[in-house]
């Protein structure tokens, strides 16, 4: 009797295979603990093999995977041993195993898989992936070594910790210092967080307190302010806080982009669905659309509210926002625009420019109108000067002018058609569809 022919395994995993293995880590680490327990490894093996995997065999495998003996399987241990397992099989078998693995654990089919990444997702994703190059462990250590928390750092660290699921927000600097000890492991968690969003592990509720923090304390998410406040031998502290602030803002942007793309995917898949990319960077119910608009303004982007049903118009008027009819050119005359602008800044309410059904080309040029009031005014307002009492007093020519509801002033553009005015710089706005 001839010898049984030995099956020849693959020599090396392709980049696509490695990507599936890496993505599976986030799909199967269902509790977001950044480690795999025995049940999660058993689920992986059962899914990959397409049949019940013997528990005894899995226990033996789990012990082998746990290289450092801490009773948990880390990301590095997981990828190392899964690659070893796959290399024992021929290419066609590996393809079948990875196809099953890529589907995710039971129940993950409920998460909507997007047709492809949208342009908005790609832009945000590049920012998130840059974290591993821009945020260094020594920067985290520089921030951690401060005896007392530098201004606004507790706010931005709380937001980051909340998104990572570290626990409820902590105002205790000692707790935050312990978190900052994470070093390279923390940088990895931050730079790969988008994969948890991709597989639906980050709920809407995780972002609610973060959105509130951005609106309530906008200066805590101003990278330029952190960098300006920490120079010389404290520069690493400013760089660390600035990168954490940017990370939080980009996470919100990416999450909203993913949700919007999911909405489009669902519509494409339904009977009579639509085709093509979404006009808006975010498609949100009215309760979330207006906070998103204010949040966008605070990060120097003019929010364009696409409001086909008129919901935003009604709510904004109810909230005492000043709604200006952009079709009437008299509202853009210097004195009229200055009066309504100063009124909005003093009262702490949005100035809403309502373009209604005007086309992109016909949309009145707000930037030029503001420059006519005072050179550099458009840029100054985008940079947050609307919350500076001295700036408003000088602009109005009234040293007694005072501000209410600081941080709530913004400029919104409102439209009932899918229109981006031609005067806005390409990267100077965020489109939000209200539904």
| Domain residue extents for the chain | 15-105, 119-269, 282-434
CA 416 – CA 220 distance, rounded (Å) = 33
The predicted pLDDT at position 300 comes to 86
Q: What is the mean pLDDT of the chain?
A: 84
CA 135 – CA 291 distance, rounded (Å) = 28
Give CA separation, 320 vs 305, 341, 343, in Å.
17, 14, 11
Q: If you average pLDDT over residues 31-55, what whole number do you get?
A: 85
CA 72 – CA 402 distance, rounded (Å) = 58
The predicted pLDDT at position 176 comes to 92
**Are the C-beta atoms of residues 245 and 158 closer than 8 Å to each other?**
no
Is the pLDDT confidence value at 54 over 50?
yes
Mention every residue, 6+ apart, whose C-beta is less than 8 A from residue 335. none
CATH class of the domain comprising 15-105: mainly alpha
Is the pLDDT confidence value at 1 over 80?
no
Q: Who wins on pLDDT, 271 or 31?
A: 31
The predicted pLDDT at position 361 comes to 67
Q: How far is CA 198 from the centre of its chain?
A: 12
CA 243 – CA 68 distance, rounded (Å) = 32
Is the pLDDT confidence value at 380 over 90?
yes
CA 207 – CA 256 distance, rounded (Å) = 10
The predicted pLDDT at position 277 comes to 42
CA 277 – CA 73 distance, rounded (Å) = 40
Lowest-confidence region among 32-36, 89-93, 227-231: 32-36
Q: Who wins on pLDDT, 158 or 168?
A: 158
CA 204 – CA 163 distance, rounded (Å) = 10
Residue 73 pLDDT level (bands cut at 50, 70, 90): confident
- List, for residues 290-348, the tens digit of each pLDDT value: 888 888 888 788 999 999 888 888 889 888 899 999 888 899 999 999 999 999 999 99
**Are the C-beta atoms of residues 304 and 429 closer than 8 Å to each other?**
yes
CA 153 – CA 341 distance, rounded (Å) = 32
Query: On the CB side of 89, how many CA atoms lie within 13 Å of its CA?
Result: 16
Q: If you average pLDDT over residues 174-181, what whole number do you get?
A: 91
Residue 29 pLDDT level (bands cut at 50, 70, 90): confident
Q: If you average pLDDT over residues 74-99, what whole number do you get?
A: 89
Q: If you average pLDDT over residues 48-76, what whole number do you get?
A: 87
The predicted pLDDT at position 340 comes to 95
- 412 closest CA partner among 332, 329, 354: 354
Q: Who wins on pLDDT, 245 or 118?
A: 245
CA 58 – CA 38 distance, rounded (Å) = 8
Beta bridge partners of 432: 282, 305
Q: Who wins on pLDDT, 31 or 65?
A: 65
Is the pLDDT confidence value at 416 over 70?
yes
Q: How far is CA 316 from the centre of its chain?
A: 25
Is the pLDDT confidence value at 369 over 60?
yes
Residue 167 pLDDT level (bands cut at 50, 70, 90): low
- 198 closest CA partner among 19, 44, 427, 43: 19
- List, for residues 388-409, the tens digit of each pLDDT value: 999 999 999 999 999 988 788 9
**Are the C-beta atoms of residues 404 and 348 closer than 8 Å to each other?**
yes
The predicted pLDDT at position 350 comes to 94
Residue 143 pLDDT level (bands cut at 50, 70, 90): very high
**Are the C-beta atoms of residues 353 and 424 closer than 8 Å to each other?**
no
Is the pLDDT confidence value at 269 over 70?
no
Domain 119-269, CATH? 1.20.920.60
**Are the C-beta atoms of residues 58 and 45 closer than 8 Å to each other?**
yes
Give CA separation, 268 vs 114, 231, 423, in Å.
10, 51, 32
H or E segment and range at residue 102: helix 91-102
H or E segment and range at residue 284: strand 282-284
Two tokens at 411?
Answer: 């400029």
The predicted pLDDT at position 264 comes to 61
Lowest-confidence region among 105-114, 157-166, 348-357, 367-376: 105-114
Is the pLDDT confidence value at 273 over 70?
no
The predicted pLDDT at position 4 comes to 53
**Are the C-beta atoms of residues 254 and 197 closer than 8 Å to each other?**
yes
Is the pLDDT confidence value at 427 over 60?
yes
The predicted pLDDT at position 116 comes to 67
DSSP 285: -
Give CA separation, 247 vs 136, 394, 405, in Å.
13, 35, 27
- List, for residues 274-286, the tens digit of each pLDDT value: 343 455 677 778 8
Helix (H, G, I), strand (E, B) or coil at 288: helix
CA 193 – CA 216 distance, rounded (Å) = 24
The predicted pLDDT at position 270 comes to 44
């Amino acid at each position: 009797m001839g010898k049984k022919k030995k099956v020849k395994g693959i020599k090396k995993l392709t980049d696509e295979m490695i990507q599936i293995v890496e993505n599976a880590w986030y799909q199967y680490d269902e509790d977001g603990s950044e480690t795999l327990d025995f049940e999660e490894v058993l689920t992986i093996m059962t899914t990959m093999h397409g049949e019940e995997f013997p528990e005894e065999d899995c226990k033996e495998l789990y012990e082998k995977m746990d290289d450092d003996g801490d009773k948990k399987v880390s990301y590095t241990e997981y990828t190392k041993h899964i690659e070893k397992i796959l290399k024992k099989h021929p290419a066609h078998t590996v393809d079948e195993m990875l196809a099953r693995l890529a589907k995710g654990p039971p129940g993950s089919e409920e998460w909507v898989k997007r047709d492809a990444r949208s342009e908005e997702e790609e832009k945000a994703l590049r920012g998130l992936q840059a974290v591993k190059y821009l945020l260094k462990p020594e920067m985290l250590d520089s921030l951690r070594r401060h005896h007392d928390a530098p201004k606004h750092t507790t706010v931005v660290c709380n937001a980051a910790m909340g998104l990572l699921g570290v626990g409820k927000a902590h105002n205790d600097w000692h707790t935050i210092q312990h978190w900052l000890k994470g070093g390279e492991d923390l940088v990895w968690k931050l730079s790969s967080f988008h994969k948890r969003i991709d597989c639906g592990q980050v709920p809407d509720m995780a972002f609610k307190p973060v959105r509130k923090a951005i609106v309530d304390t906008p200066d805590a998410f101003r990278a330029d302010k952190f960098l300006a406040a920490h120079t010389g031998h404290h520069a690493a502290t400013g760089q660390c806080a600035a990168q954490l602030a940017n990370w939080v803002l980009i996470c919100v942007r990416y999450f909203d982009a993913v949700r919007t793309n999911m909405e489009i995917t669902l519509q494409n898949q339904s009977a009579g669905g639509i085709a093509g990319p979404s006009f808006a960077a975010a498609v949100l119910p009215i309760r979330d659309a207006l906070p998103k608009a204010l949040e966008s303004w605070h990060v120097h982007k003019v929010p364009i509210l696409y409001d086909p049903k008129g919901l935003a118009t009604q709510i904004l008027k109810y909230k005492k926002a000043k709604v200006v009819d952009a079709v009437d050119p008299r509202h853009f005359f210097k004195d009229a625009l200055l009066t309504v602008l100063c009124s909005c800044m003093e009262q702490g309410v949005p100035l809403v420019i309502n373009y209604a059904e005007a086309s992109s080309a016909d949309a009145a040029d707000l930037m030029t109108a503001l420059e006519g009031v005072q050179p550099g005014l458009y840029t100054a307002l985008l940079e947050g000067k609307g919350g500076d009492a001295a700036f408003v007093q000088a602009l109005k020519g009234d040293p007694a002018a005072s501000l209410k509801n600081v941080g709530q002033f913004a400029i919104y553009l409102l439209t009932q058609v899918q229109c981006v005015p031609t005067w806005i710089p390409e990267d100077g706005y965020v489109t939000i569809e209200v539904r």
